Structure 1
């Protein structure tokens, strides 16, 4: 009765169904993994960003002696006392508050003698880049990691000339154009003394700490795979019914 299921056309149909279900189940579990990663990221950012600020030098000292890795330092709040250097680099193709623009990167020489890249904040397109304060400043911000080029990403120009624009905060690349040993992490500024004024770059906001659409996507993929199973069952039942009807009438 079910011998037709082993005919070449049906075998191909089975293979397509199994492949589709496998792919959809894989996509569903991948979305669940993304959800788990997102929850871990949110918890990490919340926990670290709400700790008491410490000096940047203390964090760098711990990184240097191995008691703290750069990954473990990310999102820790730090205080930086120092002076900005005049040259600035635009981290372009950014957005904030629904506007396109750039982030302004400025190197600062701290009172402890460190050179650190500071992301002073976001400016919308069409706005002149505000000069960094020429006086000593006390900045407060979050420790951030150097960004790396993802597979397929465009590489920034590397002709030996100082950059004025850069696609990502690549500390190794930026260190070539600033004096001293540039810190292996950078600071995302959130407040400053003298205070951040109107016309200055707007501090970059924290990433959205939601779970995102991953759970709903996972449910969709699992639903699609169930629909394929139901479709396979209906196709088999319909073909079987057709054959039984044909045999009965014959």
Structure 2
């Protein structure tokens, strides 16, 4: 059986490695697929919620305290007033290729104890000054008004310090600490509209883009790698069978070639020095298989007819020795 070598320790270990490697690839493929599913769900929240009809706050009074991810981006209409003297600026927020700040203003909802942190939009930073000390921030409308905001969960704290009146991220616990207000800790609102509308306002934030991501292609690649491990194992086994066959063929040719130097009793009958022949045989035996196929003897084939040079030499010899 030409494939019995597969039961040797080395090849069994190789097959076990293929199994372990393929299992790892399958795990990574599933992990990439789970990331794709998470991204698909994130995209579905944008497509389903972003342009939905706004909830009246009275119908969902706990939406900013008890935030559910399924409510991400959903509009909510609020009535109340801004606490403008507690405005915060979020540092290092890019917008259309420029650096700037996002303006956060607490909004106290009427007939409720809820205070919602509202992101009113983006303002540019000075080119060489990011302290915001000399930047004019469009003021929030004063008095009682109606606003529509999109629900968004808060961000993680960066752990960095920031100047007075600024905040490094939209971390709701840190915003509550900076303002001294009981800000809702489940989510904040991204401004959609204000009524009455102010004459000047920050740039509204753009609608988030749907992100397809490369996770599906990565998952397929890991499945391919899992299959390729077995394909490589089969190919190597087939190559070994092929190489073993070549080795047997080369060994037979070498044996046939060197047999001509000895008679049936083992006596040397060659014309060349026997020591030279023995050294050649030893060198051939010590060579790896791929070298034997290169140096194996080529038996000269006898031509059916002499060459032109041989015929010319024969004629000259006939004239010289009549």
Query: Normalising by structure 2, what TM-score?
Result: 0.62
Q: Deviations over 1:184-239 (max 9, x none)?
A: 321011222344666x4322233322433222222222233333332222222112
Question: What residue is the counterpart of 2:238 in the other structure?
Answer: 237
Q: Deviations over 1:16-36 (max 9, x none)?
A: 433332222222222222222
Counterpart secondary structure, 1:175? helix
Q: Deviations over 1:142-182 (max 9, x none)?
A: 01122335xxxx43459xx9662223x22122212334421
CA 1:15 to 1:205, structure 2 compared with 1: closer, same or farther past 3 Å? farther
Question: What residue is the counterpart of 2:270 in the other structure?
Answer: none
CA 1:63 to 1:202, structure 2 compared with 1: closer, same or farther past 3 Å? closer
Q: In 1, distance between residues paired with 2:8 and 2:56?
A: 73
Counterpart secondary structure, 1:126? coil
Question: What residue is the counterpart of 2:190 in the other structure?
Answer: 188
**How many equivalent pairs are there?**
239
Matches within 5 A, 1:22-41: 22-41=23-42
Q: In 1, distance between residues paired with 2:219 and 2:61?
A: 41
- CA shift, 1:7, in A, is 4.6
The answer to whether the aligner puts 1:155 opposite 2:194 as a matched pair is no
Q: CA RMSD in A?
A: 3.2
Say which of 76, 79, 95 aligns to 2:77: 79
- CA shift, 1:89, in A, is 2.7
Question: What residue is the counterpart of 2:53 in the other structure?
Answer: 52
The answer to whether the aligner puts 1:146 opposite 2:154 as a matched pair is yes
Question: What residue is the counterpart of 1:228 in the other structure?
Answer: 229
Q: Deviations over 1:110-135 (max 9, x none)?
A: 33353211112233443736243252
**Which protein shows a greater Rg?**
2
Structure 1, unaligned stretches of length 5 or more? none
CA 1:11 to 1:123, structure 2 compared with 1: closer, same or farther past 3 Å? farther
Q: In 2, distance between residues paired with 1:174 and 1:111?
A: 21
Q: CA contact under 8 A between 1:85 and 1:109: conserved in structure 2?
A: no
Counterpart secondary structure, 1:90? strand
Matches within 5 A, 1:95-106: 95-106=94-105
> If each structure's strand is expressed as a fraction of its own residues, which one has the higher value?
1
Specify which structure has the bigger relative contact order, considering alpha-carbon pairs within 8 angstroms and separated by 6 or more residues.
Answer: 1
Counterpart secondary structure, 2:86? strand
